[in-house]
Structure 1
Amino acid sequence: MRPNIIFIVADDLGYADLGCYGGRDAAFGPVSPVLDSLAANGLKFTQGYSNSPVCSPTRFALMTARYQYRLRGAAEEPINSRSRGSTTLGLPPGHPTLPSLLKAAGYRTALVGKWHLGYPPAFSPLRSGYDEFFGPMSGGVDYFTHCAFTGAHDLYEGETERHEAGYLTDLLSRRAVDFVNRASGSGDPFFLSLHYTAPHWPWETRDDEALARDVKDNLFHLHGGNIHTYRRMIHHMDEGIGWVMDALRAKGIADDTLVVFTSDNGGERFSDNWPLVGGKMDLTEGGIRVPWIAYWPAQIARGGVSGQHCMTMDWSATLLDAAGVAAHEAYPLDGVSLLPVLRDAKHRFARPLHWRMKHRGQRALRDGDWKYLRVDGIDYLFDVAADERERANHAAREPDRLAAMRSDWERWNDTMPAIPEDATVSLGYSAKDMPQR
C-alpha cells in the first residue's frame, strides 16, 4: 500500500529549538509538544543537514532530489520580490520534481505554504507538479498583512492573489487540514508539502497584529523581536501540526501516512543551535544541521534515534522510494533513499555530503566523523564527532587528511556547473544590518 506523504518544512528553525532536540521549555510550557511526540513515536535523526544554509537553494534540492547547484535559479539566494518577471530565477517547469513524479504516479499533490522558487508567469507551484497551492510566492511576508518587504501583497491561491484575514501560520495549518480532509476521501494517495514561514521574521505571534503597520519597517524587524516571541511562534506552528495530525487520526489514516519534519536551514538570531556554532548563511554546523523527524507507524518503530548522515535531497529520494516511484531517466537523483534507515534505525551507510557558497568563499564536506571547511580562504578540519562546536582545527596536525578531503571536494565540485559570475546573496538586507555572531 502506497503511503500518504506530508513533508513539513519550518523556516530558519534552529537545531535545538525543539524540546526533542534539547530545547528548553518556555515560560508558557513546552515549546513543541506535538513534534516532540512525533519524534518519541517515530524516528529522530541527529546528523541530518539541509542542502544549503539559506532558504531558496534548499528548496530547489527538496523539489528535485538533486544538488541545487545544477540549476541557475539556485545559485546562492537571488530569488526575492525583486525577481518578479525573471525567466531565469526560478524552478524550470520542465524539470521533474518530487510532486510532478508523484502526481504522474497517481498522487494528489498540494503545496500549502512558502514557495520561494520563482514568480508567475514563468514559474509557480502549479507548473512544477502541484495540483493546488495556497501560500506566499516569496521568501518572507508579514504574518498579518501577508505583504512582502516591497509592500506588495503576497498570498496566493493557485496563481491568483488571495486576500484572507488571519495569522499566516494558522491559515496554513487550517488549509492543510482542509486538504487532508478532502484528499482522504478521494481513494488516491496524497502528497502534501506544508511549508511554514514560521519562525522566520517578522517576530509576530497571534497576539501581535498591532505590529503589522509599516510593512517595510516590520518585515525584517531588525530592531525587534525576542526569544519569548520567537518560541511562541514555534509553538503556534507546533499547534497547527497537531491539527493536521488530528485530521489524519480522525480519517483513520495516520498509521499509513509518512510525516517528515525539518527546517530549510539553520537557525537565525533568536534560535537555539546548541551545541553548534554559526547559523543561517554559514556552512558551520549551526547553519546546516537541522532537525529531521520521521513518523510512519506502519513502517517506523517508536522511539528510534539515528546518526545516519543525510541532507534534504535524500529525503525527497526517500519519499519517492516509499511511494514506489522512479526518478526520471534524464534527471538521475543525487539524493539517496533513507528507506532502509526508516525501517531499521540501526542501519547505517556511508554518505559524504558536499556544500559550496560564493558568499565568503565557503565550501564544506562532511565525510564520516570529519568535516572539511573553507571560509574566507582559510581551510579547517574538524572531528565533528568529538567537537561539534568546530573549535579544534586539525588542519595543521593532519595535513594528509585535509589534502585528501580537499581533493574529494574539488573532484565533486568539478561535476557541478560553475557558480555564475553574477550570483550573489540578495536577501533584502545588507550584511551590516545583521547582528554579529
Structure 2
Amino acid sequence: MSSYENELSRRAFAGAVSVTAAAAVGLGAVPAEAAEDRQAGPVEREFRASRSRPSRRPNILFILGDDLGWADLSAYGSPHIETPNLDRLARQGVRFTDAYSGSATCSPTRFSLYTGRYPARTRGGLAEPIADRSAGLEPTQPTLASLLKASGYATALIGKWHAGHLPDYSPTKSGWDEFFGNFGGALEYYSKLSPGGEYDLYEGDAEYKDLRYYTRIITERASEYVSRDHHGKPWLLNLNFTTPHWPWIADGDTAQSAEIVRRIKAGDKRALGHQDGGSVEKYKQMVEDLDRSVGEVLKALERAGREEHTVVVFSSDNGGERFSYNWPLSGNKASLQEGGIRVPNIVRWPARLDGGQVSHVPVFSPDWTATLLELAGARPHPAYPLDGVSLAGYLLRGEKPAGRDLFWRVRGERALRRGDWKYYRGRNGRDQLFNLAADIREQADKAAVEPARLAELRAAWEAVDAGLLPYPAQGVSSK
C-alpha cells in the first residue's frame, strides 16, 4: 500500500530483527543491551494509540542533538556507536523511523521548531544557516516558549540558540524565562570561542565564564533545572546540545583544543571547522558522550519524581556530517536528500504513552511545536498559523494521522514528501521522483515513468513556495 493513512500497517517491525538487516531496510534495530527483552518477545511493536488515562498538563523536555545523523544511534542501526540511554528512551516510548528536521542546516530548523512554521516565513529563516549578526528571530514572532509562558509555563533554553545575536535577538526576548548557552552556530568546546574569536557562553544576556568542556556544563545546568522547584508551574526546557557538531573534540582532548584556539587567535576563521581533524572514532566518542549526558538529565528527572508527567522528545537539527553513519541514506547535512533531513526522533510520556512502540508516520520539526502546544492546553497565535500538524490525536486518541505534505526549501534545492513519494530537485536543476518505501536510498528515479505524479508534486511544492519569503537577490535561488 502507498497511502499515507496505511503507513502504520504496511511495514511490520519485530524486535528480533538484527541491526544489519534493520539498517538495510530503514526500520531501525533493537539495541544490544536489550537482549534480555528478546526472550519475552518483540521489544518494539507497531504503534497504537495509548489507552485514555487521567493526566495533567505535562512538563516538556525537548532535547536536540546537533548534526546527529539518522542512523547514528544503535536503536537506529549504527553498527559501532553504543547509545544505551537513548535506546532505553526509545524502548520506553515511541520511536519514529520517518522523522525529519524542518530544514537541512542548523538555524532554519531551529526557527521551524521554535515557531512551528516553515523557516522562510521569517527573514531570519532565510539564512542557511545564520553566520553573522544581520539576522535573527524577531521578538514579535510567537514561539513555543512565548505561547506556553502565556498559558502558565516556566520556560528555559539551555545550550545552542542559533537564532540571532545580541543586542537584538535572544531567547529571553522570545519567550524563554531563562537562557544559559551559546548564541552562535558553533564554538570550541573548552575556550567557548566562536569562529571569529568571540567568547560565546552566556547566562541570560551576560557573559558567563566557565572553561570546562561545554557538554558537561550544559548537562549540569539541565539536570539542575529538571530537579528544581518551579513553584507548582509546569515547565518547558529546550535542551540544545552542540554535540556532535565540529570541532571534533571529545571530553579530555585539551591538547587538540589548545591547537584550535591558537589558530583561532591567529586569525584562522576556518580553524573551528576542523577540516584537517576528526575521525570516525572521535565522532563515536562524541555521540556516546551525548548519550551519557542525556542519561544524566533523565536520571535527574527520575530522582526528582517528575518522569511520569514529563514529555521527553529527542531529535536532531538536521542530518549527519562528515563522520556520521548515514547508511542507507544518500546525502548529508545541507542537502534535501534523505541523509540531510531524516533524523532520529523519539517521544516518551509515561503517564499517557505505552512504551516499546515504533511509528512509520512521516513527521517533521514543526509538528512537535503544534503537538506540544496541544498537550499543554495552549493555542497558536491566530495571526501566525502553524505549518506543523499536531500529533496529539494520533498519539493519544487513535485518530488517523493527517494526510498532508512535508515541504522543504533550501538554496538550490527543493523537496516535498507525500505518503511514500518524494519529489526532489537538486542543484543540477533536474526534477526527480522517488518511492521511499521501495527505495530509501533515492537511486531509482521514477520521474519518467510517473510523469503525472511528478507534475502533481511539483505543483504542490510551488504552491507552498509561492506563499513564502523569497531569497535575497544575491546567491543561488531555489526557484
Give the alignment's TM-score, normalised by structure 1: 0.92
CA contact (8 A) 1:170 1:236 kept: no
The Cα of 1:408 is off from its aligned counterpart by: 1.2
More displaced stretch, 157-166 vs 416-425: 416-425
Kept after mapping to 1: 8 A contact 2:128/2:410:
no
Structure 1 unaligned residues grouped into runs of 5+: 426-437
Determine the structure 1 residue equivalent to 2:276.
223
After superposition, give the CA deviation of every residue in 1:343-398 in whole Å (9 maximum; x if it has no partner).
2689533231011111xx21111001100001121110101110000000011111
Which structure 2 residues correspond to residues 31-430 of structure 1 after superposition, within 5 A? 32-80=83-131, 83-84=132-133, 86=134, 89-182=135-228, 184-213=229-258, 214-215=260-261, 216=264, 218-343=271-396, 347-358=400-411, 361-375=412-426, 376-422=428-474
| 92 and 47 in structure 1: CA distance in 2 versus 1, 3 angstrom threshold | same
SS of corresponding position for 1:7: strand
Paired residue for 2:39?
none
The AA in structure 1 aligned to 2:301 is L
State the partner residue of 2:26: none
Describe the SS at the equivalent of 1:212.
Answer: helix
Using the TM superposition, give the Cα deviation of residue 342 of structure 1 relative to its aligned residue in structure 2, in angstroms: 2.5
The answer to whether the 8 A contact 1:305-1:345 is kept is no
Mean Cα deviation higher: 412-421 or 50-59: 412-421
Please give the alpha-carbon distance, in whole angstroms, between the structure 2 residues aligned to 1:208 and 1:339.
43
Q: Which amino acid aligns with 1:331?
A: Y
Kindly provide the amino acid, as one letter, of the partner of residue 156 in structure 1: Y
Distance change >3 Å, CA 394–CA 388, structure 1 → 2: same
Task: Report percent identity of matched pairs.
Answer: 50
Question: What is the one-letter code of the residue matched to 2:372?
Answer: L
Tell me how far apart the structure 1 counterparts of residues 124 and 402 of structure 2 sit (CA, whole Å): 31
CA deviations on 1:208-263 (whole Å, 9 max, x unpaired) are: 01111233364111011011111111111111111111111111110100000000
CA separation of 1:398/1:332 partners in 2, compared to 1, >3 Å: closer, same or farther? same
Superimposed CA distance per residue, residues 53-81 of structure 1 (whole angstroms, 9 cap, x where no aligned partner) = 0110000111100111111111142522x
The 8 Å contact of residues 69 and 343 in structure 2, kept in 1 or not, is answered as yes
Residues in 2 aligned to 1:24 and 1:147: alpha-carbon distance in whole angstroms: 34
* 2:154–2:230 contact (8 Å) kept in structure 1: no
Q: Could you tell me whether the CA contact under 8 Å between 1:5 and 1:257 is conserved in 2?
A: yes
Amino acid at match of 1:383: N
CA distance in structure 2 between the partners assigned to 1:231 and 1:58 by the alignment: 24
Contact 1:43 1:345 in 2 (8 A): no
- The count of residues paired between Structure 1 and Structure 2 equals 413
Deviation of residue 417 (structure 1)?
Answer: 2.1
CA contact (8 A) 1:154 1:161 kept: yes
User: Aligned equivalents of 2:232 and 2:246: distance in 1?
Assistant: 39
Distance 1:185 1:72 in 2: 35
Query: Which position in structure 1 is the counterpart of 2:7?
Result: none
**Alpha-carbon distance between aligned partners in 1 of 2:327 and 2:402, rounded to the nearest angstrom:** 26
Measure the CA separation in 2 of the matches of 1:103 and 1:16.
35
Equivalent in the alignment of 2:68: 13
Amino acid at match of 1:17: D
Q: Which residue of 1 aligns with 2:58?
A: 3
Q: Give me the whole-angstrom Cα distance separating, in 1, the residues matched to 2:464 and 2:152.
A: 35
- Secondary structure, aligned partner of 1:134: strand
What CA distance in whole angstroms lies between the structure 2 residues aligned with 1:125 and 1:53? 22
Q: Aligned letter for 1:396?
A: A
3-state DSSP of counterpart to 1:386: coil
CA distance in 2, matches of 1:24, 1:160: 43
Measure the CA separation in 2 of the matches of 1:371 and 1:180.
40
* Structure-1 separation of matches of 2:209 and 2:454: 54
Q: Distance in 2 between matches of 1:351 and 1:225?
A: 40
Task: Output the amino acid matched with 2:355.
Answer: R
Which of structure 1's runs of 4+ aligned residues deviate more than 6 A? none
Contact 1:301 1:343 (C-alpha < 8 Å) held by counterparts: no
